[in-house]
Chain A
Amino acid sequence: MSVMIVERKVLEKNDQIASELRKKFQTKGIFVINLLSSPGSGKTSLIERTAEQLKDKINISVIVGDVQTDNDAKRIGSLNIPVVQIITNGACHLDAQLIKDAFDKIEQEKIDLLIIENVGNLVCPAGYDLGEDKKVVLLSTTEGDDKPLKYPAMFRNSSVLIINKTDLIPYVDASVKEIENNATSINSSIKIFKVSCKTSEGIEDWCNWLLIQIKK
């Protein structure tokens, strides 16, 4: 019996590509967010509202991942911003190589803000660095207020929490206060925005924060 000491990270290849991407994004002055949530929380709607609000002020591009269909790319593309659809054919998360390949297709565009819409899933995408500046997790009020406790890694790894569908609060049992308490118990420094992509309430605050990050 012999033992070889290896001490290598299992995701070393992903981390290496992600750090190359991060350097590239920084050199080009692109602020990148990795947008994460369950399916149906409103990631694509948030991108639509954000683009409507900001597209006359800054250049936005989107990379969107889904297990199947290019429905989201069609929705976002109708706003006349560059969009690349990644279809993962079953894979539950995006990895850095997929982002590298997708970014090649829009690299010649002028980009201030790149939004990566990850596959709808609160588990697997948490572990994959995509070279982003910030992980932003979106949680809608219809999902229940205990989700930060059930998926701690996702809320721990994210810098920003956006609580969506605040217009539905009168009809659901979840409380925004309870979502905030649970999220800050996992991650005391998480920045929280409350929005409704239906009525656009709160979108301006979120967009103002984005503009500040982009100018940094």
Chain B
Amino acid sequence: MHELSIAQNIIQIVNSSVEQDKLALVDKINLKIGLLSNVLKESLLFSYKSITENTALENSSLNIEILPIKIECNNCSESSTTNDFIFNCPICKSNSISVVGGDELIISSIQLKTKAAEK
């Protein structure tokens, strides 16, 4: 359900990052989303498409990279990643771990088309 408000936040950030007269040139918005951020990719894509219809951003789309959960073991100090929501060290099996990544929800970059007239 909260993907709609996340889509609205994305639009606000794009609006404040890209000059107003270049909004229509926005092509792809590259996002990094960690597995622990509880964001459903399909739902976010749908929300974004729905609320950009008939706006300057209507030809833009989201490009979502899903990031794994990153774990550091407090026992053996090894780093590892998991896509399975298993919070054990895969090396020594200790459950004394720190989650050091996987809750990202970041706009990493915005791709703009070049207007022929501006070349």
Give me the interface of A with B, judged by CB distance under 8 Å: 1-14, 91-93, 95, 121, 123-124, 126-127, 149, 152-153, 156, 184-188
Contact = CB atoms under 8 A, between A and B. Distances in A.
B92 interface: no
Nearest to B5: A91
Contacts of B54: none
A9 to B, nearest CB: 6
B60 to A, nearest CB: 13
| Count class of interface residues, chain B | 35 or more
Contacts of A124: 1-2, 38
Nearest to B37: A127
Interface of B: 1-2, 5-6, 9-10, 12-13, 17-18, 27, 31, 36-39, 85-88, 95-97, 99, 103, 105-114
Contacts of B95: 184-185, 188
Contacts of A9: 105-107
Contacts of B88: 185
Most chain A CB inside 10 Å of its own CB: which residue of B2, B18, B86, B87: B2
B29 to A, nearest CB: 8
B38 A127 contact: yes
A9 B2 CA distance: 16
A3 B18 CA distance: 11
Contact of B2 (A12, A127, A184): A127
Nearest to B85: A152
Contacts of A2: 111-112, 114
A185 B87 contact: yes
A13 B38 CA distance: 18
Contacts of B37: 127, 153
Contact of B106 (A3, A7, A92): A7
13 contacts: A4-B112, A5-B108, A5-B109, A6-B109, A7-B106, A11-B9, A11-B105, A12-B13, A127-B38, A149-B85, A152-B36, A153-B36, A186-B85
A4 to B, nearest CB: 5
